[in-house]
Amino acid sequence: MENSNKIDLKSELKRKLIHLSSIWIPVGYYFISKPAGIILSLLGMLTMIEIDYLKKSSKKFAKFYNKYLGSVLRKEEKNFNKKVFTGGTYMAIGVFITVFFFEKSIALGALTVMIVCDSLSALVGKSFGRIKIFRKTLEGSLTFFLSGLPLVLFVFPRVSDFPEEVYAGIIALLITTIIEAIPFKMDDNILIPVSYGFFYTLFFTLIL
């Protein structure tokens, strides 16, 4: 999510460090079953949605929320009456959709790409990006792909024992990198894991 010019670099760094700390989600999911993951991610999504609606309906809660988390909110997210969901809530929605619809091994990779690649690309793009691509930068997009490549090759679990499966992961990562750079209206925390999961599943089926 490199489109971050609405908050300064210090706030963006804090925001992305929080985003990176969410790596516990795929790590935790690795150790539990898919049904358990579906239940927990559903509860997490509903909790985040409830918090966002509380911000809108309760001035006291909105003040409390803004006091502790306001510094990492983008300008439009601080208008609780206009912008209901924050990036954290969109992430919770993205996690639930990914866990629910995709095979566990694919979902683990998709969630990690959303957390690691998106965070690193945003920080590099905001700090060093010069060549614009839509609403992102070439430097940020290259970081997205290059940070995900070793994960696909050496870290992510596989659905099968066939070595050709790695090509499905590389193609999915490349397409997700391109999609992430295009200014879709859908939030990146949903768009990225769903895109990766969909194209991994598609090309895994075609290749094998």
Q: What is the pLDDT of residues 105-148, one digit of tens each?
A: 999 999 999 999 999 999 999 889 899 988 899 999 999 999 99
Distance between CA atoms of residues 74 and 87, nearest Å: 9
On the question of pLDDT at 4 being above 50, the answer is no
Report which secondary-structure segment, H or E, holds 137: strand 136-137
**In the block, residue with structure tokens 């295009």:** 182
Q: How far is CA 140 from the centre of its chain?
A: 15
Query: Would you kindly state where each structural domain of the chain is located, as residue ranges?
Result: 9-207
Which is nearest to 28 in space by CA: 18, 16, 37?
Answer: 37
Spell out the long-range contacts of 142-147 with Cβ–Cβ below 8 A and sequence spacing 24 or more. Answer: 143/117, 144/117, 144/118, 144/120, 144/177, 144/180, 145/117, 145/173, 145/174, 145/177, 147/116, 147/117, 147/120, 147/121
Model confidence pLDDT, tens digit, residues 56-112: 888 888 888 887 777 677 777 677 677 678 889 999 999 999 999 999 999 999 999
CA distance 146 to 159: 22
Whole-number Å distance between alpha carbons of 84 and 77: 7
> Exposure pattern of 149-164 as b/e (b: 16+ CB <10 Å)?
bebbeeebeebeeeee
Residue 71 CA to residue 75 CA, distance in Å, equals: 10
- For 37-64, how does the pLDDT look when each residue is reduced to its tens digit (9 = 90+)? 999 999 999 999 999 999 888 888 888 8
pLDDT of residue 66: 80
Q: Residue 89 and residue 48: Cα distance in Å, rounded?
A: 5
What CA–CA distance (Å, rounded) separates 122 from 131? 14
Distance CA 7, CA 23 (A): 23
Instruction: Give the per-residue pLDDT at 7.
Output: 57
Q: Look at residue 92 in the predicted model and tell me its pLDDT.
A: 97
Q: What angle, rounded to 10 degrees, do the helices at 9-21 and 87-101 form?
A: 30
